[in-house]
Amino acid sequence: MEEACVRKSEMDKVGVSVKFGRNETIYSKGDEARYSYKVIEGAVRLSRIFADGRRQIVNFFLPDETFGIELSEEYTSTAEAVGDVLALRCPRLCIAQLTEGHPDIGQKRLAMLSKSLAAAEQHVAMLGHQSAKERVASFFLALEMQRRTEIERTLDLPLSRQDIADYLGLTIETTCRALSELKRQRIIEAPSRRRIVIRDLAGLQAIAEGGA
Amino acid sequence: MEEACVRKSEMDKVGVSVKFGRNETIYSKGDEARYSYKVIEGAVRLSRIFADGRRQIVNFFLPDETFGIELSEEYTSTAEAVGDVLALRCPRLCIAQLTEGHPDIGQKRLAMLSKSLAAAEQHVAMLGHQSAKERVASFFLALEMQRRTEIERTLDLPLSRQDIADYLGLTIETTCRALSELKRQRIIEAPSRRRIVIRDLAGLQAIAEGGA
DNA sequence: CGGCATGTTGAAACGTTTCAACGAGAGTGG
DNA sequence: CCACTCTCGTTGAAACGTTTCAACATGCCG
């Protein structure tokens, strides 16, 4: 634990802060994978765009999470700033060098990849068999698990409805309807565009698990 | 490259062969993650089962692929033998020990995780926005890419229709209809239950990318 | 050759998407 | 500070694709 902090700060040392504006592209699919990043502030979305213009968001990254660690030479997805983003950028090579001296940094990368994989498998499970309402419920539940807001049961999402829809594999309209349905059932409240209050956590869980 | 082989054989040394019969469970979600495995022969499916009884297959593993490397203490999915399976089983601890001595084995794990992650993201992209026919086409295309059969453009899948459906996030019937549609278009042939011949690779690609 | 699991097809029910219109909120300039 | 505008979010109705339920075909094994 203690040592991990030492290592972390070493990693932080080699990185430089970079800023990105709302919707700015951090890197594109196919670019040479020169850097990996750690979110300091804001949110980043990892997505793929298809021939038909539709977009699938593969993952979101919130403060303290790392993204852009690729094993291949090129980035396999596109990363964009959801809102304004502050991030730490580390050259790939530096990481490789650090890894040699301190094999435990390899453990960190492993842990990070492992976490991404678990998230991706969860995502697959969701897209594979859940209804629109269940997806929205699962999504909020997952956010609640790693809530960043101090206020109990309040989610401050920097995401637009379109972002949510693209993550859930739904249209914006369907997402909206599912949201409205949850509001009608008094399971959530939406006091403002980007704020969700969970009024009935158990109810939300029941829905996420196919209880309605 | 050459060194990789050395390492590989070292890894093989600490493992023991184990056999599993058709549909046998190799490990269940929640079990203590004691071992990781490498497929020698046959195919393994990694899946999650839901409260409603439905199943989502998250990944398949074919000969030479490794699975069961978890960072957490428990397996997060269930692994089952699709047909008869021969596999190499390595205790988790041994791997950890090996890793210490030879940091490059860590690289192997990293590579393996990275590959799984790429596959999972591809899977998410598919489930998120492709139609039934597009999914089936993409699936065959992916299999063609890593074909194990010697015969050109012939896929020998050990999977049942149910397995395919559960991977594609569709019902068995929809999968079947999509298959029949592809047959009707003379893009594929299905000479036997578990054999698919691709007659028009370009056509298949076109469909997978939303060309029809 | 029967019997049983697996695969295939059809028709109605269901949920999501599409297209279209409307509402609400945030930011700008008067 | 209000009004305007523009983007974003919400709702409705018809079209579409997938699922469901049911029947039937096929192939495999004893």
Cβ of B172 < 7 Å from strand C?
yes
Mean of pLDDT over chain A: 88
pLDDT along chain B (212 residues), means of 10: 42 79 95 94 95 94 91 92 94 69 69 92 97 98 87 89 98 98 96 93 95 71
B189 is written with which tokens?
Answer: 């042939």
Same structural domain, B158 and B197: yes
Q: Which amino acid is at A79?
A: A
B52 inside 8 A of chain A by CB: yes
> By C-alpha distance, which of B142, B153, B21, B34 is closest to B85?
B21
Collapse the DSSP code of B24 into the 3-class scheme (helix H, G, I; strand E, B; otherwise coil) and give the result: coil
Find all residues with CB under 8 Å of B43, minimum gap 6, and list them.
B60, B61, B62, B81, B82, B83, B85, B158, B159
Query: A37 with A100, same domain?
Result: yes
Domain membership flag for residue B125: no
B72 with B158, same domain: the answer is no
Tens digit of pLDDT for each residue in B117-146?
A: 999 999 999 999 999 999 999 999 999 998
Do A113 and A198 sit in the same domain of this protein?
A: no
How distant is the Cα of A110 from the closest Cα of chain B, in angstroms? Answer: 6
Q: What is the CATH number of the domain that holds B87?
A: 2.60.120.10
Listed range (A105-109, A175-179, B21-25, B151-155) with the worst mean pLDDT: A105-109
Are B6 and B100 within one domain? yes
Cα separation of B136 and B170, whole Å? 10
Of A56, A77, A125, the CB nearest to B56: A125
Claim to verify: residue A166 and residue A136 sit in the same structural domain: yes
In chain A, the N- to C-terminal Cα span, in Å, equals: 42
B127 CB neighbours in chain A (<8 A) are 124, 127-128, 169
Query: HSE-up of A189 (CA within 13 Å, CB side)?
Result: 6
CB of B22 within 7 Å of some strand D atom: no
Give chain A's domain count.
2
Whether residue A83 sits in one domain with residue A15: yes
Q: Which residues have a Cβ under 8 Å from the Cβ of A192 and sit 6 or more positions away? A: none
**Closest-CA residue to B20 (of B70, B61, B48):** B61
> What does pTM read for this prediction?
0.91
Number of H helices, E strands in chain A: 7, 11
Residue B202 placed within a domain = yes
Listed residues A71, A96, A122: the one ending a domain:
A122
Task: Please report whether residue B146 resides in a domain.
Answer: yes
In a domain, residue B164? The reply is: yes
B122 phi-psi bin (left φ>0, alpha ψ -120 to 50, beta other): alpha
Residues B11 and B107 in one domain: yes
Assess whether B107 and B137 both reside in one domain.
no
Among the candidates B120, B154, B189, a domain finishes at: B120
B148-164 pLDDT per residue, tens: 777 878 999 899 999 99
Q: Which of residues 172-191 of B touch A (CB under 8 A)?
A: none
| B136 in a structural domain | yes
Q: Structural domain of residue B7, as residue ranges?
A: 2-120
* Total Cβ atoms within 10 A of residue B154: 15
The answer to whether residues A95 and A28 touch, using CB atoms and an 8 Å cutoff, is: no
B99 and chain A in contact, CB less than 8 A: yes
* Cα gap A1→B88, rounded to integer Å: 34
Tell me, yes or no, whether B39 and B115 share the same domain.
yes
Domain edge (last residue) among B86, B120, B154: B120
Are B101 and B190 part of one and the same domain?
no
What CA–CA distances, in Å, run from A71 to A40, A89, A181, A184, A189? Answer: 23, 17, 42, 46, 42
CATH number reported for the structural domain that contains residue A157 in this entry: 1.10.10.10
Residues A27 and A108 in one domain: yes
